Amino acid sequence: MSETRMLPEPHKNAVCAPEDMPLKDFYKGIYDEVFVFYHPFIKPKSIDYELFEPETYPGKNEIIEKCEMITWKQFLSISGIESYSHLDIGLRTRILGLKKQFANEETSKKIQDTCEKHQIIAPMEGFFPEFLMNKVLLSIKQEGHDWIWSGDEFCTERKLEYIDDLIKDNTAFRNQRLNLFTHENEILLTTHWDSHFSILCSDKDTINKIVSFADLEGFFCNDKTEIYWSLRNTSLS
d(CA 159, CA 137): 16
Cβ burial, residue 231 (10 Å; 0-12/13-18/19+): middle
Q: Which segments in the chain show pLDDT lower than 70?
A: 1, 174-177, 233-237
pLDDT reported for residue 176: 66
pLDDT reported for residue 1: 58
d(CA 105, CA 125): 18
pLDDT reported for residue 185: 93
d(CA 68, CA 84): 20
pLDDT reported for residue 175: 58
pLDDT reported for residue 9: 85
Q: Given CA atoms 58, 62, 66, 67 in this order, what sign does their dihedral have?
A: positive
